[in-house]
Amino acid sequence: MSTTRPGRSRSEEARQAILLATRDELAERGYDKLSLDRVAAAAGVGKQTIYRWWSSKAALVAEGVLEGHLMPGLAAPSPETDSDDVWVDVASWLRDFGRALAAPSTAALLRATSAATAEDDEVAARYDEQLTTVTRVALEARFTRAVASGQVRADAPTATAVEALVGLLSYHIVTRRDITEATIDGVVRLLRDGVGG
Amino acid sequence: MSTTRPGRSRSEEARQAILLATRDELAERGYDKLSLDRVAAAAGVGKQTIYRWWSSKAALVAEGVLEGHLMPGLAAPSPETDSDDVWVDVASWLRDFGRALAAPSTAALLRATSAATAEDDEVAARYDEQLTTVTRVALEARFTRAVASGQVRADAPTATAVEALVGLLSYHIVTRRDITEATIDGVVRLLRDGVGG
Amino acid sequence: MSTTRPGRSRSEEARQAILLATRDELAERGYDKLSLDRVAAAAGVGKQTIYRWWSSKAALVAEGVLEGHLMPGLAAPSPETDSDDVWVDVASWLRDFGRALAAPSTAALLRATSAATAEDDEVAARYDEQLTTVTRVALEARFTRAVASGQVRADAPTATAVEALVGLLSYHIVTRRDITEATIDGVVRLLRDGVGG
Amino acid sequence: MSTTRPGRSRSEEARQAILLATRDELAERGYDKLSLDRVAAAAGVGKQTIYRWWSSKAALVAEGVLEGHLMPGLAAPSPETDSDDVWVDVASWLRDFGRALAAPSTAALLRATSAATAEDDEVAARYDEQLTTVTRVALEARFTRAVASGQVRADAPTATAVEALVGLLSYHIVTRRDITEATIDGVVRLLRDGVGG
DNA sequence: CAGTAACCGAGACGGTACGTCGAGTCTTACA
DNA sequence: TGTAAGACTCGACGTACCGTCTCGGTTACTG
């Protein structure tokens, strides 16, 4: 049995060009005004080549934007980068995110992606998976390590704490509020008292 | 000196019809596929009458949906309805919201509105004001009363607690997750420990 | 018995302003792009004042343009201005018309009026009456005087000659051809031989 | 070197459908009320397909109506159909035209086309070319043959005679007057005396 | 090593909606 | 009652995209 098919094979070059053009358009104009005609032109590609591989605008956004292209350099907590203090790590992660959100193009991209979730269940699912679950898992793992080191109570509702953190980000993306030091300070105090050991 | 102008005055009837039709279209099709042609037809109104008073789809959504039409019957905490226990009240408010969100048309409407925030700063500001500030103020007032009754510490970051609550809602709207009893329970535990007296 | 009615009486000033504004718009933009909104604004008049007195765009053009405002200073032949030679008079009249037609605004006005005839039977009838019949009657009268002086045969088809002259004008209006001296010369020769005595 | 371009080629079927629908609309409603929306719908074509190939309503009329679709079966004089007598041929041609003009839809079409000339120089030029030049050339050729057979004087202003004939038609189109036998008789007498040998 | 199947850029197609303009009607405050 | 102002419904404008289809042409597996 063979996995290869006859005929010309898919152009990876075209695929990349499409995804990049999509991201640029999305950052510049938002989801609603994203035009596949423009994407095709910018990518130097025929429109059919887009529709051959993605079923709709939403699907393109789902793959192109959410699979890694979305948040370059936004490091979730990981064992390698842990400090001694879980609250320092949480604050630092929030601060990184706040900085990323302060860049207009990143903020626009996040808002556009968030908007795309409303149009399509598939996109919503991937948004939840990629943007959210990845982050949630990393944060929960950090809390688990903090439980081990005694900084967080074993019976604390850490899942909820993580959900509150992610929700906070979602909320700041939508409302365009900055993530200030006061916000970070409040969050850390709330969590330290709420789940701390 | 007179405040009246010559000419026919704005038709309140048309205004209401437009806002209602907008809400219905929004719930049924979402923001992206909302057509002002259809809204005009459904409202029995000329398209120009829409454009005369609202500068864009986003502005229409901002006014029509956020000014009261959005969440009929979702009572924020108020002194009249307070129970003895602030946590019971918070849990009850979350449960109400969860029930509202479980109705497909309400969920669709909230998602659509949330998506609209991405397209327009004005909408984002009104969304923040109406959905969020109103709710936030009510919740903060409830916590203030809870401080008076000794259920919440005076120095606790109640503002952040409120923000976390609102963010949680925003997040569940976007990701289509239900608000379960487990979620509610976790939130209450987190807050009770985080800000409780 | 009184002929006056209660209430404010019709403003002749407004009527004149409307007719003048109509003529200007018509010369500048043509019949198709004539806008009553613009006419009302230019005349400093409410739109309803136009519709109170004229039933439609075409009716306004019919009255405003065809009743005297159309061809200022284009003298048809008359006993007072007759020369001794009917052919000199015909040539002179054609030459005057050619000069008027050479002015872009006059040509535009004539073309616009001609176009208006296509839209409305009423306008067509008035065009025939005003522009055409007046001219035709004057020309036929001139020929009658020429018959008396022996320059034109009594049994000649003068009505047809006149119709040919008017048709020639109509044709030059539509096709934008200039009326040259060669044309005038040809016409005079044709008629002199065709109807001359 | 290749003359073909990539991409789907223009649909001749769509082109024909558009031109036919235009002609029908024009005959039914006239130039002013001609709606490209309706033409597109009647032709089963997207509106953009019209605008892709024609720059304006006037250009569409210019091509669609004047290129052959206008006067099916209105035979201009030609050597094959000549009788012995040029005046019989002229009278016969006028009579044919009069009959065509008596049909309401033909008359409406001619009026609409005539109106279209007022809006656009291009249309005016094509109108002059098609309706007029074709006819003029045929008539002038007939007169030339009549000169050869001695029925028309060699030094007669035949060009003017032809112009008068065409102008007469133009004038009857605009004023909606029928072309009667009396008119035909007058014209023939005028010309016979005016240019006859 | 010719066929042929699947890809590619280009671009026209039938549609839907946009946001604007204008026609003709209706309503208000004032003269 | 007439008038300027101006909002109203309706319908067409010309443009922008959507998602599909059709060209001529390019790989790359297959018989």
Q: pLDDT, tens digit, for every residue of C129-148?
A: 877 888 888 999 999 999 99
Interval C38-60 mean pLDDT: 93
Q: Is D70 helix (H, G, I), strand (E, B) or coil?
A: coil
Strand partners, B196: B152
Task: Give residue C2's pLDDT.
Answer: 45
Say if the Cβ atoms of A193 and B191 lie within 8 Å. Answer: no
Taking 60 as the threshold, does the pLDDT of residue D14 lie above it? yes
Question: What is the Cα–Cα distance from D97 to D106, expressed in whole angstroms?
Answer: 10
Angle value at C-alpha D192, between D190 and D197, nearest 5 degrees: 145
Nearest to A115 among B115, B193, B194 (CB): B115
Per-residue 3-state assignment (H helix, E strand, C coil) for chain A? CCCCCCCCCCCHHHHHHHHHHHHHHHHHHCCCCCCHHHHHHHHCCCHHHHHHHCCCHHHHHHHHHHCCCCCCCCCCCCHHHCCCCHHHHHHHHHHHHHHHHHCHHHHHHHHHHHHHHHHCHHHHHHHHHHHHHHHHHHHHHHHHHHHHCCCECCCCCHHHHHHHHHHHHHHHHHHCCCCCHHHHHHHHHHHHHHHEC
The token pair that represents A35 in the structure block: 């035009």
**Cβ atoms C91, C188 nearer than 8 A:** yes
Task: Give residue C68's pLDDT.
Answer: 59
The token pair that represents C79 in the structure block: 């006993």
pLDDT in tens, A58-117: 889 888 777 765 555 567 788 999 999 999 999 999 999 999 999 998 899 889 888 888
Average model confidence (pLDDT) across chain D = 89
Q: Identify residue A8 by its one-letter amino acid code.
A: R
Measure CA to C1' and name the residue nearest F16. A35
The token pair that represents B194 in the structure block: 């985080």
**Cβ atoms D170, C144 nearer than 8 A:** no
pLDDT in tens, D72-127: 556 778 899 999 999 999 999 999 999 999 998 889 888 988 888 988 888 888 88
Task: Give residue C6's pLDDT.
Answer: 64
Model confidence band, residue B194 (pLDDT cutoffs 50, 70, 90): confident
Say if the Cβ atoms of B171 and A167 lie within 8 Å. Answer: yes
**Cβ atoms A196, A151 nearer than 8 A:** yes
| C1' of F16 to CA of D179 (Å) | 50
Say if the Cβ atoms of C30 and D119 lie within 8 Å. Answer: yes
Q: Using the CA of A50, give the nucleotide whose C1' is nearest.
A: F19
Least confident of A42-46, C122-126, C159-163: C122-126
Task: Give residue C1's pLDDT.
Answer: 43
> How many beta carbons lie within 10 A of that of residue D31, not counting itself?
28
Q: Using the CA of D4, give the nucleotide whose C1' is nearest.
A: F24
Measure CA to C1' and name the residue nearest E31. C8
Taking 70 as the threshold, does the pLDDT of residue B2 lie above it? no
Q: Is A114 on the interface with B (CB under 8 A)?
A: yes
Strand partners, B85: none
pTM, rounded to two decimals:
0.89
Task: Give residue B71's pLDDT.
Answer: 58
Chains contacting B with at least 3 CB pairs below 8 Å?
A
**Cβ atoms B138, B97 nearer than 8 A:** no
Task: Give residue B74's pLDDT.
Answer: 67
Calculate the CA B131 to chain-centre distance: 3
Close Cβ partners of A100 (under 8 Å, ≥ 6 residues apart): A71, A73, A74, A106
Close Cβ partners of B69 (under 8 Å, ≥ 6 residues apart): B19, B20, B23
Percent of chain B with pLDDT over 70: 95
Interval C89-105 mean pLDDT: 92
The token pair that represents D92 in the structure block: 């016969």
**In Å, how far are A8, B36, B64, C75, C134 from C95, measured between CA atoms?**
76, 58, 67, 11, 18
Interval C28-50 mean pLDDT: 95
Task: Give residue D86's pLDDT.
Answer: 95
Give B195's Cβ-side CA count (13 Å radius). Answer: 26
pLDDT in tens, A136-188: 899 999 999 999 999 999 999 999 999 999 999 989 999 999 999 999 999 99
Interval C162-181 mean pLDDT: 92
Taking 90 as the threshold, does the pLDDT of residue C46 lie above it? yes
Nearest to A193 among B164, B170, B194 (CB): B194
The token pair that represents D111 in the structure block: 């009026």
pLDDT in tens, D138-162: 999 999 999 999 999 999 999 999 9
| C1' of E9 to CA of A9 (Å) | 16
Closest CA–CA distance from residue C175 to any residue of chain D (Å)? 6
Model confidence band, residue B1 (pLDDT cutoffs 50, 70, 90): very low
pLDDT in tens, B81-139: 999 999 999 999 999 999 999 999 889 988 998 899 988 888 888 888 877 788 888 99
Close Cβ partners of B155 (under 8 Å, ≥ 6 residues apart): none
The token pair that represents B109 in the structure block: 């409407």
Taking 90 as the threshold, does the pLDDT of residue C3 lie above it? no
Asked if the Cβ of residue A37 lies within 7 A of any atom of strand E, the reply is: no
Model confidence band, residue D37 (pLDDT cutoffs 50, 70, 90): very high
Close Cβ partners of C177 (under 8 Å, ≥ 6 residues apart): C171, D128
Placement of tokens 């039977």 in the chain:
C121
Angle value at C-alpha B178, between A66 and A168, nearest 5 degrees: 55
Task: Give residue D163's pLDDT.
Answer: 92
Phi-psi group of D178: left, alpha or beta (phi > 0 → left; psi -120 to 50 → alpha; rest → beta)? beta
> How many beta carbons lie within 10 A of that of residue D37, not counting itself?
9
Model confidence band, residue B70 (pLDDT cutoffs 50, 70, 90): low
Task: Give residue C40's pLDDT.
Answer: 97
Task: Give residue D69's pLDDT.
Answer: 60
Interval B138-161 mean pLDDT: 94
Interval B30-36 mean pLDDT: 94
**In Å, how far are A77, A97, A139, D126 from A93, measured between CA atoms?**
7, 6, 10, 73
Question: What is the Cα–Cα distance from C175 to A168, expressed in whole angstroms?
Answer: 73
**Helices and strands (DSSP H and E) totals, chain C:** 10, 0
**Which of chain B's residues have a Cβ under 8 Å away from the Cβ of A128?**
175-177
**Which of chain A's residues have a Cβ under 8 Å away from the Cβ of B167?**
164, 167-172
Q: Is B180 on the interface with A (CB under 8 A)?
A: no
Question: What is the Cα–Cα distance from D196 to D189, expressed in whole angstroms?
Answer: 9
**Cβ atoms C187, C94 nearer than 8 A:** yes
Question: What is the Cα–Cα distance from D166 to C183, expressed in whole angstroms?
Answer: 14
Taking 70 as the threshold, does the pLDDT of residue A19 lie above it? yes
Asked if the Cβ of residue C37 lies within 7 A of any atom of strand E, the reply is: yes
Q: Is B35 helix (H, G, I), strand (E, B) or coil?
A: coil
Characterize B125-134 residue by residue with b for buried, 16 or more Cβ atoms within 10 angstroms of its Cβ, and e for exposed: bbbbebbbee
Best mutation target, A61, A87, A174, to test chain B (most B CBs within 10 A): A174
Compute the radius of gyration of chain B from its Cα atoms: 20
Measure CA to C1' and name the residue nearest E17. B35
